[in-house]
Amino acid sequence: MSADTETGAVGTETGTGVPDGRAVVPDSPAARLQALFEGHRLTPTQRRIAHSMVRRAADVPFLSSVELAELAGVSQPSVTRFAVALGFDGYPALRKHLREVAPTEQTAASASYNEYQQAVEAEIENLRHLAEVLADPRPVQRAGRLLAASRPLPVLGLRAAASQAYGFAYFAAKVHPDVRLLNEGGTMIHDRIDAAVHAGATTLLCFALPRHPREVVDTLAYAKQAGLTVVTVADSAFAPVAKVSDLLLPAAVGTGLAFDTACAPMLLGRVLLEAMCDDLPDAQARLEEFDAGAAARGLFVE
């Protein structure tokens, strides 16, 4: 596959380059990095470096090329070639540029935080970045229309993303007439996609989180071949699933603990639910019907 088709887009059709700048307010380290990558066609290795830089945007200006290579899991020469691809003489010039455009105020208080507090602060920053992305509501609104119109609506999430898919499907089923959860992989998953297509599905929603299983990429490619529009919530616009998604909505995950934290993807899932409800005219009536039934059954403890 060519480098052109390997690049992904935020809130727009994939294969058109790096994220659409309209979807991000350029007022955070991550947003500045994404703006820097705009207009450049990146190879898979370079996308991996870019992905790692966005995830650690606040730290990147202070990393050596060796440290960045270790962070991205690539070779040090790959980092140098990446910097040259962005138009710099080498990595030192790229790092100098990043330091010049970095916020002047440093989070001095964060230096005294323990590792647990630092993880919380990182998630707060991820949520702030998500708020900036949502300053342009059009991608989420478009996703909401697609999800509302798909009958049935398959929702995919494997391994680390299975809980995200389950949470979305649980609430979506209260307002959408036919939600089909796909949270277990294996040879049956293509059969279930075929069944959804034959039943009338037009869109598949995917939650994709690191580490990205190869099966998710393969499943999304199959869904597209089957004629489904793929809407994906992923940790970055440079995630491997970008090339097999029609509409990708980014929400960063926290990486400061032994296992990633996914507050922003979960919140973005709830935002998508809200957008979908806006395009389901009977959503409120269905919720009221559920509440009445729950009260009659004594389902919840008051």
Domains and CATH numbers, the chain: 3-106 (1.10.10.10), 138-295 (3.40.50.10490)
In this predicted structure, what is the pLDDT of residue 61? 85
Structure tokens belonging to residue 205: 């929603």
In this predicted structure, what is the pLDDT of residue 103? 55
In this predicted structure, what is the pLDDT of residue 264? 96
In this predicted structure, what is the pLDDT of residue 109? 53
Residues in the chain: 302
In this predicted structure, what is the pLDDT of residue 170? 97
Q: Give the number of other Cβ atoms within 10 Å of residue 108's Cβ.
A: 7
Q: d(Cα 241, Cα 234) in Å, to the nearest integer? A: 8
Q: d(Cα 7, Cα 179) in Å, to the nearest integer? A: 30
Q: d(Cα 116, Cα 119) in Å, to the nearest integer? A: 5
* Low-confidence residues of the chain: pLDDT under 50: 1-26, 104-107
In this predicted structure, what is the pLDDT of residue 122? 85
In this predicted structure, what is the pLDDT of residue 161? 97
In this predicted structure, what is the pLDDT of residue 115? 83
77 — alpha (psi -120 to 50), left (phi > 0) or beta? alpha
